[in-house]
Structure 1
Amino acid sequence: MLQYAIPAFLVLGLALVFVNSSAKTLAIFAWNCFIKPFTGHKDVAAGQQGALESFYKGQANIYDRTRATLLKGREQALATTAAELRKKHDLVWVDIGGGTGWNIEHMTTNYLPISCFKAIYLVDLSPSLCEVARKRFAEKNWKNVHVLCIDAADFTPPAGSSVDLFTMSYSLSMIPTYYAVIDRLSTLLGKDGLVTVIDFYVQSHATLTAKSTTMGGELLRHVNWFSRTFWRLWFEFDRVYLDSARRDYLEYRFGTIKSVNCRNTRLGGIPYYYWIGCDKDRSTNILQRANALATESPYLSPQNELVVGDEDAANNTLAIRSKGYDAALVNMQRNFPAPSFFYQTEIWRIFYNQELPKYHQFANQYIYAFTWEDPREDKNILQFKPSDTVLAITSAGDNILSYASMDAPPKRIHCVDLNPCQNHLLELKLACLRVLPFEDMWKLFGEGKHPKFQELLTTKLAPHLSSHAFQYWHKRGHASFTGKGLFDTGSSRWAIRLAHWVFAISGVSPHISALCEAKTLDEQWSVWEKSLRPCLSNPIVAKVLVGNPIFLWKALGVPVEQTSMIEGGMLKFVIDTFEPIIKRSLISDDNYFYYLCLKGCYAANNCPDFLTKHGHANLAKRKGALDGIRIHTDEINEVVKRLNPGSVNHAIVMDHMDWFPKDGNAAREEIKSLHHALTEGGNVMLRSASQKPWYLSVYEEEGFTTRPAAIRESGTSIDRVNMYASTWVCTKKGAMESLKI
């Protein structure tokens, strides 16, 4: 068996780079972990306790010094758990397989002080590890921490006590009767209690199909065949079992609050996860909440309540139901937990099944890190009222937050985007508005950089993010908010990079700063005309780069269908876009769209409304300011047909109908759905690359009147972006129209 230890020494050699330990410590670690398991050495009685003691007895005193590199994720899991706990005093915590007590010391030192806990129980089956823990707690004179050297399945709290927190740090994979322990935990967990598990795992997509609506995130969940096979065999030598059934059963017995999949890149990419769950019946009316809290209706509850277990009511189902309602109903019939969305603190994010192929086209990234459309024009044209319900495309969420930050905002805003990552970005902004001070908001979304993003994510933002969004930002957040920052992320970053490359090659970069610092329109025009216009109007730049269909889609998100609608050619379109802007709006203080692209960040006096102190105060301090926002991850057509008829006052669909094929079938289906959802006199506001888009006739055929809010003529601008040739308002017939066009 010693031949299996050879690769172990290779791993140990790599570990030397990362573990600051003495040679003696490393030798003890190597003997107990890589050699002793294969020698047949037996120095204690048989059985699980004997096996554990045989493995840990010789290394108990060096355990903590040799596990920092191997047992990743513990700090983040404990920080996230502390943030998610609803109760913050008189807590009862049970650390299953707590070993030396490291978890307890780390939690109470960094996140929740020891005074928050009524009692802490460390449960472990290894006498040697328990002895180390006792010494650790005795030195700190902690009277409310108790070390129990017993089987986890035998743990019983004092009479009348329920448990607020169970943690299992790299112990679930070592418990033979894991199903009995998990069942035991589910019976002892308090109503608002949490279960947190950190462990190694291996799993493939093939085992996830039936779980996709419950597990709360699949990013990095799949482990390839070689890694699954290698790590499973490797860890089994030390009686650590990575079979997926353990995690599957955990997620079956509890509702998922957070689920994060990671790789230990320092040690060969070992897969590990941390997961936070709760009583899967935490809500006594889960089906009602499916429509009420994660609703796809503009109202707070369904028209007819459905009581769990009422067969007559079940047969008389609602005419309009959310997809989340349907998924929760199916899960309950199978005794599965509800989808993870229903265990979250916030009600913003609507259920979606991330396994559907339509979500995979975006390669787990958003296109836009900022929103191009001008919300000032939206508000001027549509004249929002506090009684309005608005539906709008999410994009980067800046316009959504502009509407919500008004002094008298619409009562409900439905945000729709098929790209889950665009909605992850908006969800992050909402979470930050909920808990962070203005200074942190500005660093994150004004400057695009924050050195402590990961710390904020786990300690502040986690309770206000869905599991899907949390996992996304857990993986990508550090890279997104360091280096070049947030605004150099997303597919659209290539357009900005290209512009800066062109400026550098053309030698006009110094003039860009002058343009962004100009104090008057005359000064701005002078810089443009003398230095920048010749560069941007170069036919090669316009035709070869900006006119390239691949670049337009990958960098700007402009599909071929929309490109074909541009009249007069790409060069004319470029000139007609930029030149009028120079005459209309100062880049330095009234055009944050182009300022951001040219400077890479916003300025305090030139930024989206939610980043102004007034807008931030309206969103962060006004009671209920964020509660009317709902985030839908789907096509517009799929969302609006589930809304109550006549419930939407304004739908802002940006330019997305330019993307539809000209046979008109897809456009007609969406327009019919919009007509059904809009109130009489309700409006669809759209922008287009064409002065008169072809689908306007379809609107008219389906019961709308159409009128231009603005049409761009050569030499004129229609808003501060001027990227579109026209803006149109289509009004559902049947009522007085009162728009300022």
Structure 2
Amino acid sequence: MGKTLAMELQRHRGQPGAGNPITRSVVRKGAGVAHRLLDHAFALAFRGLVYAQIWEDPDVDMDALQIRPDSRVVAIASGGCNVLSYLVADPESITAVDLNTAHIALNKLKLAAAQGLPDYAAFHRFFAQADSPANIAAYRAHLAPMLDEPTRRYWEGRDLIGRRRIGGFSKGIYKRGLLGNFIGVAHLLAKLYRIDLAQILAAPTQEAQRAVFERELAPVFDKRFVRWLTDQPAALFGLGIPPAQFDALAGDQRMAQVLRRRLEKLACDFPIEENYFAWQAFSRGYARDGDGPLPPYLQAGNWDAVRARAGRVTVLHANFTEHLATLPDASRDRYVLLDAQDWMTDTQLNALWQQITRTARPGARVLFRTAAQPTLLPGRVAPDLLDRWTYHPQASAGFTARDRSSIYGGVHLYELRA
């Protein structure tokens, strides 16, 4: 692990950060020293901005959740793209919950922008282009006065290398954060191996996309250095993958081969003109001409709906299970867990599903993702809890196949039994 990192981890254990909810969620009690050091390292990294764009497909989510005008959604916030996109489906309310204060600040900024920027052009420039000096002027004039003090302090504060965080929207916010840095390293490796990633984006057909992938990208995963690098759990912190999830993702295989298959799906299984995740991966942003694919909340046709309904979203810095424990019985009906359960112990899983089941209204739906393909609940969640829910395996397989982000092995849908 290295002496410097070990000293840093020891320093944090004796400070208030040792009680940080992210640390409590990630660090595996009872694991060996090496595993716990890795867990602490991930927890430290995860306290800053991880995802400027969330990597779950909101179109798949909305199809799976079947959001209705009376739906009350509770979702892990992450980068906020999905939370704002769900507004297109017209729910009654959305509560966006996250342990990461940077993600809380990003969600609040996006909601303020939807309500406070003068028009769609300004909103598009702020989040779809996200690299214009005009965004800083827009922030000062329209957004800063709308933000609460902690959120404003976050955006006007400085990151670890002294840059004002709001400045990311004048220089390319999608190049920042753990994921942005990870993609940047991948682009650097591509240059070292003389691969032009823009070829994927310029491919006129899916057949051409696959030809570029097989010719340019696939051979990289056979390189000795790449195989070694991807076998290091810390190397994938930038994907938001903690060490426990790394083990589930790899299984009995070399991680390089797992990542090759996921990248192949991203590069080949969907037309480039429909997959904004591919644009993020291969260009570190959205299409510059303004005609490329965008998340639902950033699409011009959805602007009026997102603007009008942004007030229905409540953003909370809280643990998901603990938040549910504060709610009345049978008061919510849509739950979005992202991949958080991959991090959880059996005790945490059971506590979560106890609260989901207690707060669920008739017809409630739970959607989550897993690094590996199978659902992880059987054998881990108590039968008396799990038996109250119906798993939809065929629908889940279809949602997995359609998820354009291509990162996850499984997308899973459960529905409360009548």
TM-score under structure 2 normalisation? 0.82
Q: Which residue of 1 aligns with 2:302?
A: 615
In 1, Cα distance between equivalents of 2:214 and 2:357: 46
Is 1:412 paired with 2:93? yes
In 1, Cα distance between equivalents of 2:317 and 2:49: 13
In 2, Cα distance between equivalents of 1:568 and 1:359: 28
Contact 2:266 2:278 in 1 (8 A): no
Task: Select which of 646, 649, 655 maps to 2:330.
Answer: 646
Amino acid at match of 2:411: T
Q: Secondary structure at the match of 1:481?
A: helix
Q: Which residue of 2 aligns with 1:497?
A: 184
Q: Secondary structure at the match of 2:337?
A: strand
Is 1:710 paired with 2:396? yes
Task: Select which of 384, 398, 409 maps to 1:725.
Answer: 409
Task: Select which of 65, 68, 80 maps to 1:397.
Answer: 80
In 1, Cα distance between equivalents of 2:128 and 2:78: 17
Unmatched tracts of structure 2, length 5 or more? 1-15, 24-42, 158-163
Percent same amino acid at aligned positions? 25
* CA shift for structure 1 position 718: 4.2
Task: Select which of 634, 651, 658 maps to 2:342.
Answer: 658
RMSD: 2.5
Contact 2:74 2:335 in 1 (8 A): yes
Aligned pairs for 1:211-226 (under 5 A) are none
Amino acid at match of 2:59: R
In 2, Cα distance between equivalents of 1:481 and 1:517: 26
Amino acid at match of 1:534: P
Q: Which residue of 2 aligns with 1:543?
A: 227
Is 1:479 paired with 2:167? yes
In 2, Cα distance between equivalents of 1:616 and 1:355: 42
Is 1:530 paired with 2:180? no
What is the CA deviation profile of residues 65-116 of structure 1, one whole-angstrom value per residue up to 9, with x for unaligned ones? xxxxxxxxxxxxxxxxxxxxxxxxxxxxxxxxxxxxxxxxxxxxxxxxxxxx
Q: Secondary structure at the match of 1:680?
A: strand
In 2, Cα distance between equivalents of 1:619 and 1:355: 38
In 1, Cα distance between equivalents of 2:87 and 2:198: 33
What is the CA deviation profile of residues 503-545 of structure 1, one whole-angstrom value per residue up to 9, with x for unaligned ones? 1011012xx212102221112122222222212x225355322
Amino acid at match of 1:492: L
* CA shift for structure 1 position 452: 3.5
Q: Which residue of 2 aligns with 1:628?
A: 312
* CA shift for structure 1 position 719: 1.7
User: Which of the two has greater helix per residue?
Assistant: 2
Task: Select which of 465, 470, 487 maps to 2:152.
Answer: 470
Is 1:455 paired with 2:131? no
Contact 1:389 1:411 in 2 (8 A): yes
Contact 2:136 2:170 in 1 (8 A): no
In 2, Cα distance between equivalents of 1:700 and 1:726: 21
Contact 1:596 1:602 in 2 (8 A): yes
Aligned pairs for 1:115-126 (under 5 A) are none
Contact 2:69 2:92 in 1 (8 A): yes
The number of equivalent residue pairs is 367
Contact 1:387 1:410 in 2 (8 A): yes
* CA shift for structure 1 position 422: 0.3
In 1, Cα distance between equivalents of 2:232 and 2:368: 25
Q: Secondary structure at the match of 1:654?
A: coil
In 2, Cα distance between equivalents of 1:427 and 1:542: 38
Change (3 A) 1:465 1:710: same
Q: Which residue of 2 aligns with 1:571?
A: 256
In 2, Cα distance between equivalents of 1:519 and 1:357: 48
What is the CA deviation profile of residues 370-413 of structure 1, one whole-angstrom value per residue up to 9, with x for unaligned ones? 1100111111122111111111111100011111133xx11101
In 1, Cα distance between equivalents of 2:411 and 2:331: 24
Q: Which residue of 1 aligns with 2:124?
A: 442
Q: Secondary structure at the match of 1:690?
A: coil
Contact 2:206 2:269 in 1 (8 A): yes
Q: Secondary structure at the match of 2:74?
A: strand
Change (3 A) 1:527 1:718: same
Change (3 A) 1:541 1:391: farther
In 1, Cα distance between equivalents of 2:241 and 2:150: 27
What is the CA deviation profile of residues 195-237 of structure 1, one whole-angstrom value per residue up to 9, with x for unaligned ones? xxxxxxxxxxxxxxxxxxxxxxxxxxxxxxxxxxxxxxxxxxx
Higher relative contact order (CA 8 A, sep 6+): 2
Change (3 A) 1:543 1:457: same
Q: Which residue of 2 aligns with 1:140?
A: none
Amino acid at match of 1:365: G
Amino acid at match of 1:706: Y
Q: Secondary structure at the match of 1:564?
A: helix
What is the CA deviation profile of residues 636-689 of structure 1, one whole-angstrom value per residue up to 9, with x for unaligned ones? 10111112211111101011100113xx11111111111111112312111111
Change (3 A) 1:728 1:542: farther
In 1, Cα distance between equivalents of 2:406 and 2:383: 26
Contact 1:518 1:586 in 2 (8 A): no
Q: Which residue of 1 aligns with 2:30?
A: none
In 1, Cα distance between equivalents of 2:168 and 2:265: 33
Contact 1:658 1:693 in 2 (8 A): no
TM-score under structure 1 normalisation? 0.47
Task: Select which of 350, 353, 356 maps to 1:671.
Answer: 353
Q: Which residue of 2 aligns with 1:688?
A: 370
Amino acid at match of 2:101: P
* CA shift for structure 1 position 691: 2.1
Q: Which residue of 2 aligns with 1:429?
A: 110
Contact 1:453 1:477 in 2 (8 A): no
Structure with bigger gyration radius: 1
Change (3 A) 1:686 1:390: same
Is 1:358 paired with 2:43? no
In 1, Cα distance between equivalents of 2:208 and 2:132: 34
